[in-house]
Amino acid sequence: MASSLLSRQLVLSLQQNLRLTAPGCRYVSKAAAKTQMEFEYDGPSMKTEVPGPRSKELTKQLGEIQNVGAINFFCNYEESRGNYLVDVDGNRMLDVYTQISSIPIGYPSEFPMFTSFSSQSAFVNRPALGIMPPENFPEKLAESLLSVAPSGMSRVQTMACGSCSNENAYKAMFIWYRNKERGHNIPSDEDVSSCMINQSPGCPDFSILSFMGGFHGRTMGCLATTHSKAIHKLDVPSFDWPIAPFPKLKYPLEEFTRENAQEEARCLEEVEDLIVQWRQKGRPVAGIVIEPIQAEGGDNHATPDFFKKLRNIAHKHGSAFHVDEVQTGGGATGKFWAHEHWGMDDPADIVSFSKKMLTGGFYHKDELQADKAYRIFNTWMGDPSKNLFLAEVLNVIRRENLLEEVTRSGKTLLQGLYQLQDQYPNLLSSARGQGTFCAIDIRDDATRNSILLKARDKGVLLGGCGDRSIRFRPALVFKEYHVHMFLNVFSDVLAEHN
Amino acid sequence: MASSLLSRQLVLSLQQNLRLTAPGCRYVSKAAAKTQMEFEYDGPSMKTEVPGPRSKELTKQLGEIQNVGAINFFCNYEESRGNYLVDVDGNRMLDVYTQISSIPIGYPSEFPMFTSFSSQSAFVNRPALGIMPPENFPEKLAESLLSVAPSGMSRVQTMACGSCSNENAYKAMFIWYRNKERGHNIPSDEDVSSCMINQSPGCPDFSILSFMGGFHGRTMGCLATTHSKAIHKLDVPSFDWPIAPFPKLKYPLEEFTRENAQEEARCLEEVEDLIVQWRQKGRPVAGIVIEPIQAEGGDNHATPDFFKKLRNIAHKHGSAFHVDEVQTGGGATGKFWAHEHWGMDDPADIVSFSKKMLTGGFYHKDELQADKAYRIFNTWMGDPSKNLFLAEVLNVIRRENLLEEVTRSGKTLLQGLYQLQDQYPNLLSSARGQGTFCAIDIRDDATRNSILLKARDKGVLLGGCGDRSIRFRPALVFKEYHVHMFLNVFSDVLAEHN
């Protein structure tokens, strides 16, 4: 089985890497040298409804400590393998949601790297990376994040999560914009004194232009650019920043090129109008932030032409262009970064990431680097242990040609969705996707939610997005036979809803 | 040596815990069963100036990737032990700064826990905790965070870092305040539609009252309440929120009780004025945020009486009271939480933490829990592997009576600082502290910085805070003989600056 090969090779890769390169490595234990008996299950296996009794019991326990309204069920991660997530009631599900799109190569079980002394150190001794990084930090950054840096970018800053990544990317854009406006980077006395009390000019009235339907995180700066669901934003103070319409396209894109081009032109015109309006309001647009595919907001696509023109508008008006690849990055679209589908040498000024990258952070062009120390800073600045994992994950992606695999599986998945859509025209519409990063619209919200639950009871784990879409977010090890397995179950569930 | 005992017991504790309680534990490897040869060094040992040649070389390498303006030097964490941090040039320093106050019990070297199967799983399979937590999540929360919950709080939410903790605590206060204002928790149609475009009433003009000199993080919500240094805030848009003066007290506090009480009364009066003013401006104060000791801002103390009265003012005006223990929490003041020194049964509505707690997060009273799912939410919601570490760290703190140790070492440290202050009255002033969480003021900024560098060259690592203070932030395993070792070096350095 292909995925069992994968797991063995991952183990071998880790062993080799740690034996040969880890500085200060004292021993490799027998556990590390042992060939792991890795396997993947041959299909879903359901023992109870989901959540089952044990999950319900644990949810009640956790309810004494936290809000558990979003808890689906509890997991047995020790028994989860490859594309299969096992819950605490022994239900084994084909995972097409992967922890909100955050598991890159499926559920690995035993990593032998922990038995090596130097790797343990990375987990136990968490350094303040901005002041006292470990010796192997530059090397591990080069081996992991920089080895997949977007075109035109050789600088990267790690952060602990997706929201922190975007918050700090916004700060980098504000600092850059203000220095450009000043013509130099020396703040006035008035800048220094006014910023301490949150006032302009030290805290200038700059804005970030975002798009309706976009999702960029939930901390207060990010949240001011998030416009996917009211529940995320309700009751939280925000900034008066411009919000442009994201194109509402018809799918498949290639069948509606003329209408879609008109819709994209309308949105781009609005973007430019907003930039001018907000400049006139004294809140100039320091940066534009956008997802290559609006994920949380409903898997809304736009064409490469739209993004190229948007990039040009940003340049024309002196705004930075920030591509948020927190959900799209890491290979699921069939390219490592979704923006690679645009075919541009200079796609962005900033690209942020998290989820499948295991660490948060952002790449940026040289000029977007903060000009002074302690401006983009916090205690941890990420977690170096995550860089170790990422380096190994990237090795597996390369060795196993997983991006090709994703492209292949994605084609099969999308073809299957098209067929089901033809078969159930009153139920399904707008099948769309890049790689395995696919989605389909369901008749209405209630039917969508019913389909999600029914699929889960049949052993396939899916997630919703937008008002009435289902998003498909398998790991990169989702093969064509997993696609067929999924399509069979999905087809059965749809038949029940027709 | 006491700390060698500590390390051995930590190892034993981990072994025991993992063997007996870890669910799904498949084997305990020989590595785990082996008695580790733990030790602590007997003093600093300097081989080069700091940063040495290897650190300089690595700083240059990292400079190709990131801003390195804040990098002190690179570390060899594998060789670091207990209170001693070893750099890549082989310099061994007594660490009285501990990664910006974030190392709880010194530098452990080998944790055998990783060789156990179920623990490995916690590191490799990072779950989306808000939807699919691992089976042992409630148990580990109870064993770790809840076992040290502040008085009156039985609910806790984990987050990835300090800034995210405070951002989400602010959101919890806004949600709570708005529902209180509504009299129910059902948003109007206007709330729902206006919040999507960042406008009131859906995004209400609520504010958080903070204090001049406070530090609560660097993401945009937190940053609006941070007022310690201009470099943190410059060029970043902010909120028009009220900022009260923090008392500027004279030390030792007990020698200036009358003047200090007057100063505190002045600040409290201002707080009340601001709350009224901001309500009149249409920006009511949903919450007040304060550190028990302003750390980054210069180790500014206030008396228990001040905090009690501030708490009462918050209650009187219907604002939530948020105590930020990101830097003060975890035992360094001689109590687990610094607010315990106030002697109150009901000290706060929210207590946030990070750093020494290894995970970020916040405790809160029942009524501060968000009323609906997905309001306080993100993909990872912390990292369960950190809870495993914390549980073990707390075991060590209890077994070794480290809070008593801190109180003892802290007294010796503060006495030593008083003596040096008497000896160098033109150089030193305002020695102050709780437990080992101590500080002293230096004549001026330039002298302070020179002292920090000279001490480092003699093998003692210190940090600055405020305009001209030195903050002492040893780990909880800093014993009296470490205090004496530090005082000897510090005394030598001061003699050079007199």
Least Cα separation, residue B100 to chain A (angstroms): 7
Pick from A30, A78, A107: which is nearest to B30 by CB? A30
Most confident region among A18-27, A380-389, B428-437 by mean pLDDT: B428-437
Q: Going along B135-256, which residue ranges are E strands?
A: 155-159, 207-211, 243-244
pLDDT tier for residue A205 given thresholds of 50, 70 and 90:
very high
Distance CA B337, CA B342 (A): 10
pLDDT tier for residue B25 given thresholds of 50, 70 and 90:
very low
Residue pair B237/A207 in contact by the 8 Å Cβ criterion: yes
Residue of B nearest to A176 (CA): B235
Beta bridge partners, B107, equal: B82
Q: What is the pLDDT of residues B347-396, one digit of tens each?
A: 999 999 999 999 999 999 999 999 999 999 999 999 998 998 899 899 99
Q: What is the pLDDT of residues A258-277, one digit of tens each?
A: 999 999 999 999 999 999 99
Residue pair A420/A487 in contact by the 8 Å Cβ criterion: yes
Q: Can you say whether the dihedral through the CA atoms of B317, B289, B255, B475 is positive or negative?
A: positive
B454 included as an active-site residue: no
Which H/E stretch holds residue A414?
helix A402-423
B324 included as an active-site residue: yes
Least Cα separation, residue A308 to chain B (angstroms): 26
List CB contacts of B249: < 8 A, sequence separation 6 or more.
Answer: B256, B260, B263, B264, B300, B301, B302, B303
Burial class (CB in 10 A: 0-12, 13-18, 19+), B56: middle
Cβ atoms within 10 Å of B101's Cβ, excluding its own:
26
CB contact under 8 A, B108 and A131: no
Burial class (CB in 10 A: 0-12, 13-18, 19+), B378: buried
SS3 B362: strand
Pick from B74, B195, B374: which is nearest to A135 by CB? B74
B461: left (phi over 0), alpha (psi -120 to 50) or beta: beta
Q: Residues A61-87: what's their mean pLDDT?
A: 95
Distance CA A275, CA A320 (A): 12
B215 included as an active-site residue: yes
pLDDT tier for residue A498 given thresholds of 50, 70 and 90:
confident
Pick from B102, B199, B239: which is nearest to A198 by CB? B239
- Chains A, B: CB pairs < 8 Å: 420
Mean pLDDT computed over every residue of chain A: 91
pLDDT tier for residue A124 given thresholds of 50, 70 and 90:
confident
B411 included as an active-site residue: no
- SS3 of A27-84: the string is CCCHHHHCCCCCCCCCCCECCCCCCCHHHHHHHHHHHCCCCCCCCCCCECCCCCEECE
Least Cα separation, residue B475 to chain A (angstroms): 13
Whether residue B472 is predicted with pLDDT greater than 90 in this model: the reply is: yes
CB contact under 8 A, A385 and B69: no
Query: What was the pLDDT predicted at A29?
Result: 31
Pick from B64, B78, B156: which is nearest to A24 by CB? B78
The DSSP result for B229-259, as a single string, is -HHHHTT-------EEPPP---SSGGGSHHH
Residue pair B9/B106 in contact by the 8 Å Cβ criterion: no
CB contact under 8 A, B175 and A58: no
Residue of B nearest to A131 (CA): B71
Choose, from B140, B335, B355, B386, the residue flagged as catalytic.
B355
Take residue A120 and report the two structure tokens written for it. Answer: 């343990």
List the single best residue of A180, A227, A236, A449 to mutate versus B (max B Cβ within 10 A): A236
CB contact under 8 A, A70 and B374: yes
Query: What was the pLDDT predicted at A108?
Result: 78
* B109 contacts on A by Cβ (under 8 Å): 117, 121, 124
Residue with token string 């120390």: A373
Whether residue B250 is predicted with pLDDT greater than 70 in this model: the reply is: yes
Residue pair A242/B198 in contact by the 8 Å Cβ criterion: no
CB contact under 8 A, A131 and B100: yes
pLDDT tier for residue B109 given thresholds of 50, 70 and 90:
low
Q: What is the pLDDT of residues A177-199, one digit of tens each?
A: 999 999 999 999 999 999 999 99
The DSSP result for B296-335, as a single string, is TTT-EE--HHHHHHHHHHHHHHT-EEEEE-TTTTTTTTSS
Residue of B nearest to A192 (CA): B230
Query: What was the pLDDT predicted at B337?
Result: 98
Pick from B164, B203, B389: which is nearest to A164 by CB? B164
Closest CA to A157 of B307, B382, B62, B172: B62
Residue with token string 């505190």: B264
Choose, from B379, B422, B445, B492, the residue flagged as catalytic.
B379
Which H/E stretch holds residue A164?
helix A162-182
* A114 contacts on B by Cβ (under 8 Å): 114-115, 120, 123
Whether residue A446 is predicted with pLDDT greater than 50 in this model: the reply is: yes
